[in-house]
Amino acid sequence: MKRKTTNDILAESFPELAQTKRIDKITISDITSNCGMSQPTFYNHFKDKYDLIVWIYTNHVREIMCKIDNKTFMWKDCLLGAALYYYENSEFIKNALKHTSGQDSFVENVRAVGRACFRR
């Protein structure tokens, strides 16, 4: 059985809170209290809540993309997996899109991750 990492635990806490609260109103204290961790532990893993949002998103996308092997899991399966992810997490994603802006915007942070991947 795979044990959950600190990142995994924090990543579960945040969307749980985002179901009932606007993302721009969620504090680091809210996130850590919700999962029984300390604020210093949070900052050992993420620079801020926007960094956590991007980690959550990119981690899920990476899981989907890593399944591609061109034999049993092909691009169409990847697209289906992405669509399913968006469907299952639509409230969280809508919240992230609506309630983040400027340099902390979900779109800008995901775009920055994408640019970094293509520079490699």
Give the domain CATH number at 14.
1.10.357.10
Residue of 105, 118, 119, 114 whose CA lies nearest to 51:
105
Total domains in the fold of the chain: 1
Q: Tell me the C-alpha distance between 23 and 13, whole Å.
A: 12
Q: What is the pLDDT along the chain (120 residues), one digit of tens a residue?
A: 678 899 999 999 999 999 899 999 999 999 999 999 999 999 999 999 989 988 888 888 777 777 766 677 677 777 788 888 888 888 888 888 888 887 778 777 777 766 665 565
The reply to whether 62 falls in a domain is yes
Tell me the residue range of the domain where 24 lies.
Answer: 6-119
